[in-house]
Structure 1
Amino acid sequence: MGHREFVSRILVIPNCPDLLLSASGDSTLRLWEYKSGEEVHCCQLSTICGPQATKPDQKFTVSRITYCCQGGYVAILCDSIPTVYIFQLDATARQLVYKQQISLKHKGWDIAFEEMGDLWILQEDKEAPLLSYRACDGQWKAVTDDKGLQMSKYIQDNWTVFEGFVGAESYYSHLYKASFDNMDEYLQRKEERLQQQKKKKQDLQHASSGQAKKKMKAEGPSL
């Protein structure tokens, strides 16, 4: 695939089964005609998520993708960034159109669209673990009177199940390729590895030779 880092999420579009979304540690969200292997659109998340960056080298690794057939909406969560980003799929033009972002007060854990099209967000907050948003006049707005929000009480009563995930570090940081600031450092480390491998090989050869000599001495001369 065209990604330069590990793939974190993939999703086949339910009502456009020839299209697939993929996200990666390279901070891109890509749209594919996957049967032919052709990439038809690439969205650079750093250009959209930049204001939410907490450090200069911030990665925008998508941790969740969800899709709504009604309207062709795509919502994503990025690892360690308390924001939900919403796109709309233009299936005819084969592209994603950025629409809106929903800022959260806490880190988002999961997102999902329900059948009627509402967007549900599970966030790292015991006081308000569930949030609901609904599309209205082209904008996603918070819903406060949905009966489904009563589920927050059950989550709060069983918060011990979630406590182990509160404040957890990134699950993706160890998956990134090792990088080096300059070629000299890379070559130096490569040479060190080669020397270590060479020394191990020599040590094994010496050990093998020593064992052979001991065996010959023990067995004595032979014809």
Structure 2
Amino acid sequence: MAVLLSKGDWFVSSCSSTLIAINLKKTRDLFVFDCAKAEKRPKEADGDEKSGGGSEKDNDKILAFAVSASGKHVALTDDHKRLVLFSTEPSWQCMSTRWVMRRCTSVVFTQTEDEVYVADKSGDVYSFSVLEPQKPGELQLGHVSMLLAVALSPDDKYIITADRDEKIRVSFRLQPYNIQAFCLGHREFVSALLVPAGHPDCVLSGSGDGTLKVWHYETGRRLQSIDLKQIILDNSNVDTEKRFAVSRIISSPDGRHIAVQCERFPSVQLFLVDAGTEVCLKPAEKIVLPHAPWDMTFDSQCHLWVLLENEDVNVLLYQYSEEHWELCDTETPELNRVTEALKAQWNVFKGSVGLESQFKHLYKVNFDNMASYLQKKQQRLEKESNKRAAANGSKSNVTEKRSKMERDSVLQNTD
């Protein structure tokens, strides 16, 4: 699974164990970081690994990464339980490698860029200092279920967490034991969160139930719910029973556009933001893609980049013009720079083409107890019916034998 982010002048992607950074404005060498060659876990930390309860074998696959608002810092976490912090100015360099307790699922920087928060599989959130890059992490809060997404309000006042059990929790960042609200209503795991640009009071959530919801997160009030299956499958010859897990929600920097991607589906759904007294999303156009997308991002110019599972056409660039999203000219310098860089690094990506759903094991397992009950009841009734038939047959045979014996006795007496 490849992931894509763009902040400032940087186009950053990760796949497998490798992070790749491309400068969109200047002709500079790629920055490539391979976790397989990163600092190894100290032996004295083995106890932490054992306490993690994981029988899984560690590898160097990148699980999550984030870029700070200014683009000056990047953090990644991998399957080896490393948290690696980078600075990008004046040039890319690794600031520190620290260790997390569990495998992480989501990473986010504070707006002030002084801390980075990581959410993990056990349901905990830890904070790590950016200003003190060697300082160990501190536990901030916990869920009883696996965390899948974490976000911060633009003023860094609230931390918003989403888990496998359909819950979205809003907590005070500096006092996370104080819960401000819950946003409840999804029927499957919550896989994506976004506080859209220009709308600091709202959070968007996507789920394995195929819906996109808009919340006023401070009160937990739901403002809108959109069934993506109805929109995406409109006039499409696609299996209507297919599961739709929202894998990505992004906002353009100007706050006018929202793009939503559903896992393994070759399209991107765009929405226009109607910012009246309350935020309302209006379905706009659907961009049909030639191949399944891995990920997407908006750049600082509000252009939409889509990363595809294809070596020949590995990335597409769209711009909004005259109320319509159109494909950019392939001779665009930024697009050329990115396309050539990704082709040169395609060995990093090719192993992730066509992988199975990352959400496959998160869906709730439904048991049809009534069907099982009715089947067993039918089997029991048939068994009882067979017993009665057998019993009636036995009685009939006894009666016939008795009648025959009586007839034989009468004949003997007559003789």
**What is the TM-score normalised by the length of structure 2?**
0.44
> Does the alignment pair 1:45 with 2:228?
yes
Displacement of 1:149: 1.1
Q: Which moved more, 1:174-183 or 1:138-147?
A: 174-183
Deviation digits for residues 10-64 of structure 1 (CA, Å, limit 9, x no counterpart)? 0012311110000001110000000100000001111101145642311221111
Q: 2:367 aligns with which of 163, 180, 198?
A: 180
Distance 1:61 1:74 in 2: 17
Q: Which has the larger radius of gyration?
A: 2
Classify the secondary structure of the residue corresponding to 2:343: helix
> Any conservation in 2 of the 1:180–1:186 contact (CA below 8 Å)?
no
Note the residue ranges of structure 2 that are not aligned, 5 or more in a row: 1-183, 376-415
Work out whether 1:128 is the aligned partner of 2:313: yes
Whole-angstrom distance in 1 between the partners of 2:373 and 2:350? 41
Alignment of 1:21-170 (within 5 A): 21-51=204-234, 52=236, 54-70=238-254, 72-92=256-276, 93-144=278-329, 145-150=331-336, 151-170=338-357
**Deviation, structure 1 residue 91:** 2.2
Between 1:77-86 and 1:65-74, the stretch displaced more is 65-74
1:184/1:100 Cα in 2 relative to 1: closer, same or farther (>3 Å)?
same
Question: What CA distance in whole angstroms lies between the structure 2 residues aligned with 1:103 and 1:79?
Answer: 14
Say whether the 8 Å CA contact 1:126–1:156 is kept in structure 2. Answer: yes
* AA aligned opposite 1:96: L
**CA RMSD, 1 decimal:** 2.0
Out of 1, 4, 12, the position equivalent to 2:195 is: 12
Secondary structure of the equivalent of 2:233? helix
**Matched residues, number:** 189
Q: Is the 8 A contact 1:71 1:88 kept in 2?
A: no
Comparing both structures, which one devotes a greater share of its residues to strand? Answer: 2
Q: Distance in 2 between matches of 1:90 and 1:3?
A: 23
SS in 2 for 1:128: coil
Separation of aligned partners in 1, 2:281 and 2:372: 40
Taking a change above 3 Å as real, the CA distance of residues 181 and 70 of structure 1, as seen in their structure-2 partners, is same
CA deviation profile, 1:185-223 (whole Å, cap 9, x unmatched): 3899xxxxxxxxxxxxxxxxxxxxxxxxxxxxxxxxxxx
Output the amino acid matched with 1:50: L
- Provide the rounded CA distance (Å) in 2 between the counterparts of 1:146 and 1:112: 17
Q: Taking structure 1 as the reference length, what is the TM-score of the superposition?
A: 0.79
Structure 1: which 5+ residue stretches go unaligned? 189-223
Shift of 1:70: 2.3
